Amino acid sequence: MGRKRGVRKICSLEGCSGFHYAKGLCKKHYHYNYYHFKPGKKQEEMESVLSVSIENQQAEA
């Protein structure tokens, strides 16, 4: 039972290659969502805001 050992999921947000932590997100995006979004916000709204932040980080690098 449980997940297969050695199989790592990837963050579900486009452009992020972090390992899965919870609810389809990596640790960084999960905690960002936890602290910045209120319960009941739409998943699409969260993904649009986070994808913009990922694009900005990649442009700075």
Cα dihedral sign, 49-52-58-61: negative
The tokens describing 35, both together, are 């602290």
- Report pLDDT digits (tens) over 2-38: 667 777 888 888 888 889 898 888 998 888 887 777 6
User: Which class for 26: exposed (0-12), middle (13-18), buried (19 or more C-beta within 10 A)?
Assistant: buried
pLDDT at 50 over 70: no
Band of residue 52 on the pLDDT scale cut at 50, 70, 90: low
Q: Please tell me the pTM assigned to this model.
A: 0.51
Average pLDDT of span 26-52: 72
Measured between alpha carbons, how far is residue 29 from residues 2, 6, 58, 59 in Å? 24, 22, 15, 18
| Helix 27-36 × helix 43-60 angle, to 10° | 120
